[in-house]
Amino acid sequence: MVAFLVAGFESTSSALAWFIHWMSKHPRVQQKIKTELLGDGSVQHLSLDRLDSLVYLDCVINEVLRLIPPATGTIRTLTLDDRLPESGAQLFKGDSVMIPFSNLAHDTRYWSVDPEIFYPERFLDEDKNHHPYAFIPFGGGHRQCIGQDLARFELKMIAARLMQKVTFGDGGPQVNAGGHSIRLAIIPKHVGVTIDFAK
């Protein structure tokens, strides 16, 4: 239980903080989420089916997790001697190998649209078929994050509710500069946004 709390709290709250920061910087994206949420205008209730139908919001959450993955990476320990396929670098049984999520998510070899920009549409179009290991914010293999479905559900539900109620605006370069602080997760250093309660 303690592991769940430690692993599940700052990671998810960091992704939410980044969501708010990116929304304040990208009014166009906010507007698209709001339009998707309005749908045919008849339903405000966020049932599971309704939440599942929000495909653009999925792209936004993916882009939040891609641009700054809350976890820097993961580590695997070799169970036998091996070589890296391209460089031929020798690795030995017992070596620890760091897999850096952010480097993979920003490697121009794996992304058609500039990986430095916040562009959720990439997941619908140009980068729909990205390399499977270029985007692994929850790790991979049989030790991948056990809480990822819960985390995605929390993020999507809270993001949708926020976008139904408020609009975030950029609080200005000094207070809303982003930047990184690394604690358990990578969190934004400066998130200063305005909140407009008119939808």
> Is 147 among the residues that bind ligand HEM (CB under 6 A)?
yes
Selected binder of ligand HEM within 28, 45, 143, 189 (CB under 6 A): 143
Q: What distance in Å separates the CA atoms of residue 22 and residue 169, rounded to the nearest whole number? A: 10
- How far the first Cα of the chain sits from its last, in Å, is 38
Find the shortest distance in angstroms from Cβ 82 to ligand HEM.
18
- Give, as ranges, the residues between 4 and 43 that touch ligand HEM (CB under 6 A): 4, 7-8, 11-12, 15
Find the shortest distance in angstroms from Cβ 152 to ligand HEM.
8
Find the shortest distance in angstroms from Cβ 198 to ligand HEM.
30
Selected binder of ligand HEM within 47, 118, 144, 164 (CB under 6 A): 144
> Is 188 among the residues that bind ligand HEM (CB under 6 A)?
no
- Give, as ranges, the residues between 57 and 76 that touch ligand HEM (CB under 6 A): 70-71, 74
- Give, as ranges, the residues between 73 and 92 that touch ligand HEM (CB under 6 A): 74
145 is in an annotated binding site: yes
- Give, as ranges, the residues between 96 and 135 that touch ligand HEM (CB under 6 A): none
Binding residues for ligand HEM, rule: CB under 6 A, are 3-4, 7-8, 11-12, 15, 70-71, 74, 137-141, 143-147, 150-151
